[in-house]
Each structure stands twice: as C-alpha cells, then as structure tokens.
Structure 1
Amino acid sequence: MVERDPIALLEKSNEGRLPNLIPIRYGRMLASPFAFYRGAASLMAFDLAKLPRTEITVQLSGDAHLANFGLFASPERHVLFGPNDFDETLPGPFDWDVRRLATSFVISARERGFKQSDQRDIARTLCATFREQIAEFSTMDTLDIWYYQFAAANMLAIADTALERKKEKAVISKARTQSSRRCWQTHGEPVS
C-alpha cells in the first residue's frame, strides 16, 4: 500500500507546469480551504482511487468543482452554462467528477457558514439532480444528447424569485459583452 504524502503528490502534479508559476499556484492555494481544494485535484484522485467506484471509464473533467462551471458563449454566440475548464482532463471512473463536484459544494457551503445539515442537503440535491439528468439522457437519442445545451434562459426558468432572476439577468448580460479576444487584451492572458 502506497503511503499518502500530500507534498509529494502536489510536487508530482507540478510536472509540465512553468516553474516560475508554481510559487504563485501555492500562494493561491493558501488563500482558503476552497482555494486549496481547487489546486489539489491530484490529492483527491489519490484518495478516490482507494474507494469503491464504477467500472465505467469516461474522459473526466478531472477538476470538476463549482468554480469551473459558468457562462460561456458557444461558436453560434449563444450564452450557455456548463463546465469551462479542462486543463486537468484524464480518463477515469465517471463518479470521480461527481464526487469532486459535490465535495466542492460542501467546502464552499462550509466556508460560507452554512449549517452542516444544509451542507448535506446541498450535496444530496446536486447528486439527485445529476442522477435525474442521467436518467433523462438515457431515454434520449444519441444525437439529441450530443446537441443538448443548458442555455442561459434555462437558468432564468429555474430561478425561484424575482431577485434571483434579476441577478442572473445581470450576469448573463455581462457574459454577452465578454469575448476571448477582449479578455486577452484586458488581462494579457487567456481566461481559464
């Protein structure tokens, strides 16, 4: 049995990274438990490898956490919601992404002072929604699944209150004004 050495695992995850950016990475990870979690996908993968898992291997996002989901423009200029960061992608059991995503919600809720029962409810709701969506996809034609998109309008439709709809409209409006070219010119680096 291999001993879990977090420092060695983090160092190994630096392979292929620009050496001058590694201290910046570590500095960002120190900011909060969630920031550490974001930067420590390899630690969670090590832990998940020891747990029971499905034998269904897919191409994972590899770093499925709530901060890697957001609005983006499709090539057709539709504003969509979904995963938007794939720099840690790798083959693995599909449940690893689900577990990592659920854990990110719990850590974020904990940081924001949510009660433990609310943290559990958030994770259960996320997993139930995932399960229900997979069940729906299982009844659909392969091509319909391929073209399935969660548009910004879908977000507005599930908003519970007028205040939530107003906030979401503002975020969608801002997303429409952003382009990869503008982000590059503004920040001098691609957005990830």
Structure 2
Amino acid sequence: MMSDDMALVREFAASHSEPAFATLVQRHLGLVHSAALRQVGDAHLAEEIAQAVFLILARKAPSLGPKTILSAWLYRTTRYAAADALKATRRRQAREQEAYMQSTLNQPDADTWAQLAPLLDDAMAELGETDRAALVLRFFENKTVGEIAGALRMEEAAAQKRVGRALEKLRIYFSKRGTALPAAALTAAISANAVQA
C-alpha cells in the first residue's frame, strides 16, 4: 500500500487526477482526523485541520520523494497543522478576551456616573477656560475635533491634545476624591451622561 500511495501521489501530481486524490483521502482521512482530534480535542477544529492537511498534500505532492511513507508524512503534517491551529485559537481567544475586558472597562455603569455626577461641575470649574471650553464643546455639545479646533482657533491636532489633557485633569481631580478610573471609562461616562433631557 505504501508504494501504491506514492503511485497515487505521483498520478495526482502529474495530472491532478481527482480519483487518485480521492482514494488517498479515503485511505488516510481516519488517521489524519483522529490524530488532529487527539491534539485539539474539538471535532470541528479537527475537521478543519484534516482539510488543511489534505490541501497541503495537494500543494506539496510534486515535491514528495518516491521513498516517502505517506501515512508518516500525513501524521507529521497533522501534528504541525494542529499546533498551528491551537496557537491561532489561543491568539483569537486572547484578542476576544482583551476586547471584552476593554469594553467592560470602557462601559460606564450607573454607579460610576453616580460618583462622578455630583463632582463634574466642580471639576469643570477647576479647569482653565480653554480646557473647559474644549470639554463643553466635545461632551456637552457633541462637537467633532474639527469643530472644536475651529471654535478654539487652533489646529485639529492641538484641539485633540487639548481635549485629552483636559480629560486627564478631570481624571486626576476625580481620583483625588476617591473615584479612580481609566481615561477611557471617564470619557465613556461623560459622553453617555453629560447632557440628559
């Protein structure tokens, strides 16, 4: 069967014979799928890995030597493909976890706003006139950075920095009074609640 496997590989490499490739898949799918399943522990992912392994076989068929033991080659390729799939899954899960954590950190809750609301006007009064104007335009009037820049007669980059610095001053003000939170959460809380009908 080993020499028969390589004859089928050569036939596929020479003429892209679908029957030859289908025979190889039929013979070795169980080996590839079960090896993948043992490594990843997930049937759906194991199916994806098996498909990937046979795609690799199709691509590399012309370069496989006549002494290649196809089942051993498929097993090794499956191990590499499974390891790559696990790494990709872990990276995706880490990105999803990070996105979830960021969204929860940046979501203002009622308690946060309840702590900020009584202090907001005093905090705004502590700011310099330009900082206060930048924040009023941004959060109370929902102006864009471009509109803020026009109103304050400055470049957009300067207006963006002005808003950022003023927010940082507010964050420090609140922190000194027992409400410490990231700048993004402060921004979200003020954006969501600064103007209420």
TM-score by length of 1: 0.25
Larger Rg belongs to: 2
TM-score by length of 2: 0.25
Q: Which has the higher helix share?
A: 2
Q: Which has the higher strand share?
A: 1
